[in-house]
Amino acid sequence: MKPFSEACENNQEPILAILRLAFADVHSVLEIGSGTGQHAVHFARHLPHLSWQTSDLEQHHAGIRLWLDEAALPNARPPILIDVNADPWPIEPVEGVFTANTLHIVSWPEVERLFRGAGQVLQPGGVMCVYGPFNYGGKFTAPSNASFDAWLKARDPASGIRDAEAVCDLAEQHGLHLEADHEMPVNNRTLVLRKLG
């Protein structure tokens, strides 16, 4: 049975609206943490000019393949193993990087390694889009995010909603400059970062 995420189902259209603009001139995208594979299928189907490379830890590959096999899209590529802790990542340079709901799941050192890896694989002028909940000025943007953060930390004390300012500072260290910060439904955001040549 294919894995299924209700959150993916609910957020894919708002994210697609951002990606249509951010990835308009992009032809190769690496998705970090493809999860169920739902996003990959939806975005590859609606952005046929992109070659969408899925990736995740090996335990998620079978589920991703089920989604990809059913969709049979020529521009959605089978998952590769990318562990953010690896250096370097086993992939050729790409024009775009996308990740959704990952920064609050992994530890902060892994967030640091994720941006290190993204900075390495992105070509000059490339674009990175990061979707998820963020704090601003050290404060939650909604009570639901505070509750979600408490749930995350109870499950794994190293996880939690990240401060947008800290994330953008980290991205800058790897040559990724904030180009846009989009408000999204259900108290989420999409950060659009560009690697300057």
Average pLDDT over residues 108-125: 98
**pLDDT at residue 9, rounded to an integer:** 86
* Phi, psi (deg, nearest 5) at residue 3: -65, 155
CA dist 15 and 38 (Å) reads 13
pLDDT at 197 over 80: no
As a CATH number, domain 6-195 is: 3.40.50.150
pLDDT at 163 over 90: yes
* pTM to 2 decimal places: 0.97
Element spanning 128, H or E = strand 122-132
